[in-house]
Amino acid sequence: MIHEETIQKLLELKLVAMATAARELATSPPDHQLTTQEVLGMMVDREHTHRDNRRLARRLKEARLPANAASVEEVTCEAARGLDKAVVRSLATCQWVRSKQNVIIVGATGTGKTFLGTALAQAACRSGLRALCTRAPRLLHDLAIARGDGSYSTMLQKIARADVLVLDDLLIAPLKEHERRDLLEVLEDRYDRASTVITTQVPTKSWHESLADPTIADAICDRVIHNAHVVTLRGGSMRKKKGLGTEQT
C-alpha cells in the first residue's frame, strides 16, 4: 500500500509521473495488487518515459520544425520520384549524423525537398540529437542583422551547436558578397563536427556558377558536397497533385 505522504514527497521531488503511477496503484482493486518489484518497476518506467517525452518535446520545439512537419515514415518512396526505400531507411537511422556527414536534397519546386529535410530533422530529434530548421535566405538575413547589433558570434555558436542544421531553399536567389561569407562561416563551424541538410533547386554541379565567387565557392563545396549523400527528387509538384485531389473531392 502506497501512502499519500509518499506520493506528496514524490511530487515535492518533481517526480510527477512516479507520483501519478503511485496514486493509480494506491487506488487499484485488491485483486490487482502487484509485488514490490513490479510496483517499483512500473513507477520508474513511467517516470523514465515521461522525462524522455519531455526532452523530445523540447528538442522538437528548439528545432523550429514547421507545423506540418512529417516523420520519415510518412515520406512516399517511389522510383519515379527518385526516392529509394533503402536510402530513406538508412537516413532514418541517423548514422550519417553520427558520422558527421551531410545530405543534399535537389529538386524542382514542390517535389518534396522541404518535406524530406524536415522529416530527417525530426528523426534526429527522436534519436536524441539536436536539430535546427531554417530557410537559408532567412538565416542569412538574421546573420546580417546580428553582425550589426553585436550578436553575430553568439548566433554562429548557437547554429554550430545543432547536430543537424536544415538549410532550406539554398541558392533560391543570387547571394550577396556578405551572404556568401556568412554561409561559409556557418559551414566552416560545422565541417567535420556536425551535419547539414541542404535543400535546393540548383544541382551541385552548378553551385560554383551560382555562388559567383570562385574562391568562396571552392571553400563551400569542399565543406559540404564531398561528404554528402545527394538525393535528387524528380516528378511534378506534390502541391499541385494535392490541390487537384482536393478539387476533385
110 and 225 belong to one structural domain: yes
Which of 62, 90, 105 is the last residue in one of the domains?
62
203-220 pLDDT, tens per residue?
A: 999 999 999 999 999 999
100 and 20 belong to one structural domain: no
Report residue 222 as a C-alpha cell. Answer: 569542399
128 and 171 belong to one structural domain: yes
CATH number for the domain spanning 122: value is 3.40.50.300
79 and 11 belong to one structural domain: no
Contact 64, 132 (CB under 8 A): yes
Q: Which domain holds residue 96?
A: 72-248
> d(Cα 38, Cα 179) in Å, to the nearest integer?
59
Which of 26, 43, 62 is the last residue in one of the domains?
62
Residues lower than pLDDT 50 in the chain: 246-249
79 and 55 belong to one structural domain: no
The answer to whether residue 198 is domain-embedded is yes
9 and 90 belong to one structural domain: no
237 and 190 belong to one structural domain: yes
50 and 170 belong to one structural domain: no
130 and 44 belong to one structural domain: no
The answer to whether residue 67 is domain-embedded is no
154 and 51 belong to one structural domain: no
pTM: 0.80
The answer to whether residue 147 is domain-embedded is yes
73-89 pLDDT, tens per residue?
A: 888 888 888 888 899 99
In sign, the C-alpha dihedral spanning 153, 213, 188, 196 is positive
The answer to whether residue 144 is domain-embedded is yes
Any idea how long the chain is? 249
42 and 107 belong to one structural domain: no
**How many structural domains does the chain have?**
2
What pLDDT, on a 0 to 100 scale, did the predictor assign at position 247?
45
Which of 38, 62, 86 is the last residue in one of the domains?
62
Burial label for 160, CB within 10 Å (0-12, 13-18, 19+), is: middle
Q: Which helix (H) or strand (E) holds 133?
A: strand 131-135
